[in-house]
Amino acid sequence: MMPLTALCALRFPCAMAFLDHIHACNRHDLDRFRPLVVAGQHVGWVRGDVAWHLEHHADTFAVSEDMVGLHPRLAAPDDRSAAVDRVCQELAEQWKTPSLRGERYRVARRFSDTPLMTVDRGVVSLFGVRAFGVHVNGFVRDGTKLKLWVAKRAVDKAVAPGKLDNLVAGGQPAHLSLMDNLVKEAAEEADIPEALARTARPVGAISYCLEDQWGLKPDVMYCYDLEVPKGFTPHNTDGEVEHFTLMDVEEVAHRVRTTQDFKFNVNLVILDFLIRHGVLCPDSESDYADIVHGLKRGW
């Protein structure tokens, strides 16, 4: 049977717009969530159904009608992280909430703040904490034309299997700098030598806020442009990418505008690229300012 997203793309082949991708990444109903407060700081959101589960773990969570906090005994970041992990492990076994993936994400209001604790990547949306990632637009200049390297995600990926992706992208683990994470992911995903990866230029950040099956994803994607030499061809080394294709930027723009071929949040990274490189023009793109501002809606 054809998956639902493919059906939608077929039913509305021309009715999509760039803004639809932004709306799709910002669907949520905050009325169903309670603030997660750690050490006096509002660092996340917990949905009512999840808060009900947490209420049964009163040695770790302090749940009220207005908010979800941690037990006062958990004063040190490491103690908080360990206690929350234990509860998440139990919930995953009892209630089939997401299982732990063994990768730590920092819990802080801003990426540069000292983390108040860490949580496992698998349960980030359960607590609605801001997750960070790096996305790399790999591009080639061909005279005045631009081409983008596009990855096709492996069909066995848990999230967005088979969808198109940036040349390099990855979630941001707690213990690395953004650039070191970029270098690591560039090597694993596309076999990009470190010296080339380090020429990637930071060009901004995109934010969105999406409700998923278990909670909220208020994500920030740090974006980088990496100009790749004409002779270089990326190769995947970790099995997460099926293959890479070099596409004209106009074709990428057309596919973002008219299809759901790209992973949901990668559409936003590409829109930002199209804006910054003048591929979209404010005199002819009627949604221009809405797109520009829509790429920062999750902050």
Positions touching a second copy (CB under 8 A) are: 110-112, 177-179, 201-205, 207, 220, 222, 225, 275-278, 280-283, 286-290, 292-293, 296, 299
Beta bridge mates, 168: 136
212 close to 158: Cβ distance less than 8 angstroms: no
Rank residues 46 and 280 by Cβ distance to a second copy and give the closer one. Answer: 280
Give the span between the Cα atoms of 273 and 5, in whole angstroms.
24
- Min. distance of Cβ 250 from a second copy in angstroms? 16
Rank residues 96 and 110 by Cβ distance to a second copy and give the closer one. Answer: 110
For tokens 């009512």, the residue is 48
- Min. distance of Cβ 274 from a second copy in angstroms? 10
Can you say how many angstroms the Cα of residue 119 is from the centroid of all Cα atoms in its chain?
16
- Min. distance of Cβ 207 from a second copy in angstroms? 7
Q: Could you tell me the two tokens for 68? A: 């979800």
Distances (CA, A) of 115 to 42, 110, 127, 224, 274: 13, 9, 15, 24, 34
Amino acid at the residue 142:
D
Neighbour tally for 144: CB within 10 Å: 5
- Min. distance of Cβ 262 from a second copy in angstroms? 21
Rank residues 24 and 203 by Cβ distance to a second copy and give the closer one. Answer: 203
- Min. distance of Cβ 285 from a second copy in angstroms? 8
Rank residues 79 and 285 by Cβ distance to a second copy and give the closer one. Answer: 285
Rank residues 26 and 236 by Cβ distance to a second copy and give the closer one. Answer: 26
Distances (CA, A) of 47 to 35, 108, 125, 185, 223: 9, 19, 10, 32, 29
Maximum distance among all alpha carbons in the chain? 63
- Min. distance of Cβ 118 from a second copy in angstroms? 19
Rank residues 58 and 281 by Cβ distance to a second copy and give the closer one. Answer: 281
